[in-house]
Structure 1
């Protein structure tokens, strides 16, 4: 059963490494023709809300490339099902609309993160990460060659039986990628139990949490245009580019995510939270201005997906995912092969005395 999970995590993880580059290739409509002027974020938001009045908007993602559509994510009010819409930022029109099944990479992401089981699935993924950590460490200990024979541990015996070839290949590859597998296992488990880990660190050092403000509904009161909130955030952060808008508390709290200008973390952001009714600032979470422990926690995701070193580290994570899937296939086959050999040997030993009595 663990092998099935490892196979799934390896393949889905590999597929997600270059997700942002793959998605426009799958859905050509996500690539748009730039125009002379972009429509306002509020105009796009109004279009999305009009298209799905039965849902609430959870976030809007603004790509860095000028020829990419803006992605909106919504949740239905009844069942909480996810809906995704892509909007042409120059014409304000919806160019793609559908649930998870219409967005393969998003579907893969949910499978990788929680197995479509919600919090229970995340726990299963965390346990799988701990199992992978155990396999990575124990496998490395079992593989470790005698002194002076280190290179022999990476030798693949191509002139032996099929079982010997696969076994030596499995051992050599497993040892070669063990460090990356252990890193993925540790960071993956920490992502699942990120908040308990934050609490544990908080007992020995200062740790900040992201703001979680709530705003009560005020019937009949209009909310400010999100462009006003974005302008306020950008004025406070030196005009940094808009990355995301996140909505909570019934869309009455708007979190403006801007490019992080105070951090070297590639996915670091400056987040400012606003009351959507009056524009009051409700909190900040600015990468590069947080405590060391908090910055360490936020680096976990960056390391897990290989963003920290650019394309080279992403390629490493891609290869690691494919190799993990391969190890997930060869491991059970080798176990079955060894068990089959033992059964044949036991059968042969049992048949020998009977043959001698005839």
Structure 2
């Protein structure tokens, strides 16, 4: 029995060592880039006044008009992020520019002055410092293949953390010593303590960050299993609809008012304009209690010609599977904790 247990620990120790040696540099890279991305909006905005979310200094219709005037040849939809901090710029994404066709997610991004609506910055995703760091963190600059690499690395890192915890786990009488760094120890013991003890204190946080990051990198690996015990709710989007003939009748302000009537206490975070083959407005809002503050899940789709409300997503009606995926990003970046 003892021999079998010793063999098990020897095998586990080998797994822990080689996983650590293989993944250490990648883990450091992801940790550094992820730490920067937690604060990238504040850093990118130059630590502007961060007052509470307030009414826009300009109307949404003026924002849409400014985007159309700045890029008149782009007739497709714009996805506009409304600022949640005073004096923060207005950011808009044109999702499928011809210049980046075939690159996956690579929208054109415009950043507008919140008062004059002058274009402050114009770039494609991956060309600015922060979007390049995003690509490095989420795909290792390798596109879909990078997501798969991160998925495999994430699973191996979970093995690394789990094996380390099992190897450390002390007997009942050894807990006090197992949690303390021994003073005056020889250098080998000191190195061991500096590796093990801090790791034990942050292992639960590390498990959450790694697991949520892995699930976001390769969600299709996890959805079948989660959907088996808790089926996902159909998003209920607008589906295929005939394109508009001419300019949309409904303005941005009316679309937001229609969405606000459906979720009267929610705060609008994004609006997506009609254009091209998309004949509707999409308004993305945050209700009280939603964990994701920047990318909330309350959404309303409104026909741009008739003003009819054509689809709604209400996260308060989530299944358990829906909620698991809604919590991934805010748990990963700490947003869920405020």
TM-score, L = length of structure 2? 0.77
Write the deviation string for residues 49-90 of structure 1: whole angstroms up to 9, x where unpaired.
332345555521112223222111224223244332222233
1:85 aligns with 2:110: yes
The match for 2:175 is 150
* Structure 1 contact 63–69 (Cα < 8 Å) conserved: yes
Q: CA deviation at 1:164?
A: 4.9
1:60 aligns with 2:80: yes
1:288 aligns with 2:316: yes
Q: CA deviation at 1:141?
A: 0.9
* Structure 1 contact 207–293 (Cα < 8 Å) conserved: yes
Higher gyration radius (CA): 1
Q: CA deviation at 1:174?
A: 1.7
Q: CA deviation at 1:256?
A: 0.2
Residue aligned with 1:149, SS: helix
CA–CA distance in 2 between the matches of 1:100 and 1:255?
22
Residue 107 to residue 276, structure 1, CA distance change in 2 (3 Å): farther
Please, which of 35, 38, 44 is the counterpart of residue 57 of structure 2?
A: 38
* Structure 2 contact 297–326 (Cα < 8 Å) conserved: no
The match for 1:345 is none
The match for 1:173 is 198
Residue aligned with 2:270, SS: strand
Alignment of 1:285-324 (within 5 A): 285-310=313-338
CA–CA distance in 1 between the matches of 2:122 and 2:42?
19
CA–CA distance in 2 between the matches of 1:206 and 1:105?
36
Residue aligned with 2:93, SS: strand
The match for 2:255 is 229
Residue 169 to residue 31, structure 1, CA distance change in 2 (3 Å): closer
Residue 152 to residue 173, structure 1, CA distance change in 2 (3 Å): same
Residue 36 to residue 223, structure 1, CA distance change in 2 (3 Å): closer
* Structure 2 contact 83–269 (Cα < 8 Å) conserved: yes
CA–CA distance in 1 between the matches of 2:91 and 2:285?
16
- Gaps spanning 5+ residues in structure 2: where? 1-21
Please, which of 94, 97, 106 is the counterpart of residue 74 of structure 1?
A: 94
* Structure 2 contact 292–326 (Cα < 8 Å) conserved: no
Deviates more, 1:209-218 or 1:176-185: 209-218
Alignment of 1:177-196 (within 5 A): 177-195=202-220
Deviates more, 1:109-118 or 1:46-55: 46-55
CA RMSD, aligned part only?
A: 3.2
The match for 2:42 is 21
CA–CA distance in 2 between the matches of 1:139 and 1:286?
41
CA–CA distance in 1 between the matches of 2:113 and 2:35?
29
TM-score, L = length of structure 1? 0.73
Q: CA deviation at 1:110?
A: 2.4
Residue aligned with 2:161, SS: helix
* Structure 1 contact 44–89 (Cα < 8 Å) conserved: no
CA–CA distance in 1 between the matches of 2:175 and 2:50?
51
The match for 1:98 is 123
* Structure 2 contact 181–190 (Cα < 8 Å) conserved: yes
Please, which of 244, 267, 275 is the counterpart of residue 241 of structure 1?
A: 267
How many pairs are equivalent? 306
Q: CA deviation at 1:199?
A: 4.0
* Structure 1 contact 69–87 (Cα < 8 Å) conserved: yes
Residue 283 to residue 152, structure 1, CA distance change in 2 (3 Å): same
- Gaps spanning 5+ residues in structure 1: where? 311-358
Residue aligned with 1:145, SS: coil
Q: Which runs of 4+ in 1 moved over 6 A?
A: none
Write the deviation string for residues 146-182 of structure 1: whole angstroms up to 9, x where unpaired.
3322233344456566665433311222222111111
Write the deviation string for residues 228-280 of structure 1: whole angstroms up to 9, x where unpaired.
2111101222153211123587443432012214x453534421012334333
